[in-house]
Amino acid sequence: MYNDLLKKDYILDMVSKIILVGMMGVGKTTIGKLLSNKLGYDFVDLDKIIEEKSGVKINTIFEIEGEAGFREREFQVLRDSIEKEKVIISTGGGIVTNEKSKTHLIKCNVSLIIYLKANLGTLFSRLKNDNSRPILNVDNKEQMIEKILNEREPLYQDLADMTVDTTHMKTIDVVKLIIKKMDVI
């Protein structure tokens, strides 16, 4: 038991930043909050901080500034958040489409990038009634989710130090699996 505690503390000392990437609807925010509670890390949700700083919803930013304007805001918040120690960062699903953000994630020292994934059916089930995501304000949501997933999945995989498929898992089981996988890193 004592050796397990030492091992956990050693691993946590080595990894001061855990960054969650993956598609919208995969559970990055929910899992990030639970993981931060279990590990005693701070939790940062980039989308929430962008909304707090701008005073408007992400949809409004997309309408006024377009995706490029939103991605620049996202990069700024990522850059500030990544400076923190003992932090878990939940990124937006499209962060991997911005080269500046991707490069910043790659260069981040003592970080663990976890790709949370789910299959198309699960993502569609979770997102079909969600109207808060600008990129999904289309007639055929399932087709759009599939298109985005096909474009982004290789980008997530390239960044990831660890991949966890959340498709058939309860949130708490995902958190337990991440912690277990961290023990073997």
**Where residue 8 falls among pLDDT bands split at 50, 70, 90?**
very low
- Give per-residue pLDDT as tens, 105-128: 988 766 899 999 999 999 999 998
Please report the pLDDT score of residue 11 as a whole number. 47
Domain regions of the chain by residue span:
2-182
Poorest-pLDDT segment among 1-5, 34-38, 94-98, 172-176: 1-5
> Under CATH, which number does the domain 2-182 receive?
3.40.50.300
Percent of the chain residues past pLDDT 70, beyond the cut: 90
- 142-164 burial string, b = 16+ CB within 10 Å, else e? bebbeebbeebeebbeebbebeb
Alpha carbon separation from 139 to 122, 142, 144 (Å, rounded): 19, 9, 9
pTM: 0.89
Give the chain's mean pLDDT.
88
> 84: closest CA among 106, 50, 110, 48?
110
